């Protein structure tokens, strides 16, 4: 026995054994519920979670994101067409200048 322990003080092993025994006893005493009660509890918790996390802001944000992406693609398409037409006009201008000289 270590010098700092009194004869009545439990050892670490005794404490661990006591803890394990308490856990086994608690597990044996856990109440069981039937399937209908479990489903009712699950459905009740699902309704609570749904109430805590409202979907409309998420859906609105997702729609806004996809709308923004679509608008940016459209503007890119418009800009690319405008740039292509600008290059065509510049090419025609250079051809016209070349034919004048």
Per-residue model confidence (pLDDT) at position 2: 53
Q: Are 17 and 11 in contact (CB under 8 A)?
A: no
Could you tell me which residue, 93 or 3, shows the higher pLDDT? Answer: 93
CA distance 31 to 41: 15
**Could you tell me the pTM of the whole model?**
0.44
Structure tokens of 86?
């600008």
Which of the 8 DSSP states describes residue 1?
-
- The pLDDT-based confidence of 1 (bands split at 50, 70, 90) is very low
b/e sequence 22-45, b meaning 16+ C-beta within 10 Å: eeeeeeeeeeeeeeeeeeeeeeee
- Residue 84, judged by CB atoms within 10 A of its CB (0-12, 13-18, 19+), counts as exposed
Q: What is the mean pLDDT of the chain?
A: 86
Per-residue model confidence (pLDDT) at position 7: 65
- The pLDDT-based confidence of 75 (bands split at 50, 70, 90) is very high
Q: How do residues 18-56 score in pLDDT, each as one tens digit?
A: 888 888 887 777 677 788 888 999 999 888 887 777 778
Three-class DSSP category at 27: helix
């Amino acid at each position: 026995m270590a010098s700092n322990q009194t004869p009545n003080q439990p050892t670490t092993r005794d404490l661990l054994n006591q803890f394990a025994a308490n856990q086994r006893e608690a597990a044996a005493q856990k109440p069981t519920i039937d399937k209908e009660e479990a489903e009712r509890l699950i459905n009740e918790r699902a309704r609570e979670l749904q109430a805590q996390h409202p979907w409309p802001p998420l859906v609105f944000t997702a729609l806004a994101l996809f709308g923004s992406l679509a608008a940016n693609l459209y503007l890119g398409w418009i800009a690319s067409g405008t740039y292509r037409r600008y290059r065509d006009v510049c090419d025609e201008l250079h051809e016209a200048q070349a034919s004048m000289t």
